Amino acid sequence: IPAGTKRTVSTKDVQPSAVGQGAIVLFVTGEWGGQLYQETFQLVPTGNSYYVHNGIFRVGNNNPFNSPPEATDVSKAFIQHYFTTYDTNRENLASLYRNSSYLSHEGTECSGPQAIVARFNALPKVQHDGNSLTVDVQCVNGTQIVFMFISGQMSIDGANPLKFAQMFQLFQEGGGYFVGNQIFRLNYGG
């Protein structure tokens, strides 16, 4: 995108990071140079300010799967399980969350497995288009934390597809992972 191109922010979401220690997760959607963009950051406090510990920025849909080799299997398995379960039986997602888990869905915030699944169940039936997904992944401390950013299309009650973006911060626990942070937004652009 050429320098000086107008950038319009449509939505901003901020939530405490499940990493703790005052860290926050920031999620932004908008339009830049006539294209939809999404970005997410994990900001960690240092003195009186913050530094970017993780950051993912995406414009367009080129290179649809970006993952370090050590996180490829984890991210692909999570994506397959999450979207299939969300589209067919949201109750079964409760095991992915802990009492410390945060969700921001279109600006509505909640925490804990019961509240998160209740939020999901209050929403209309959707179908995610697995072929439209773009995925960007970063790891922290090996694969102890997997920071995942996903964009794509979904249909609500069979209507025309809508663009969405969401981030997940997965934390290793035993032999699996749980969702510590999740932010979801439909992306309408500017």
Cα–Cα distance measured from residue 34 to residue 9, given in angstroms and rounded to the nearest whole number? 12
Are 166 and 184 a contacting pair, CB within 8 Å? yes
Nearest to 71 by CA among 165, 185, 12, 147: 147
pTM to 2 decimals?
Answer: 0.86
96-127: pLDDT as tens digits = 999 999 999 999 999 999 999 999 999 999 99
Q: Provide the β-strand partners of residue 122.
A: none
Cα–Cα distance measured from residue 166 to residue 130, given in angstroms and rounded to the nearest whole number? 14
* Residue 182 CB coordination number (10 Å): 24
Cα–Cα distance measured from residue 138 to residue 168, given in angstroms and rounded to the nearest whole number? 11
Cα–Cα distance measured from residue 179 to residue 118, given in angstroms and rounded to the nearest whole number? 16
In this predicted structure, what is the pLDDT of residue 61? 60
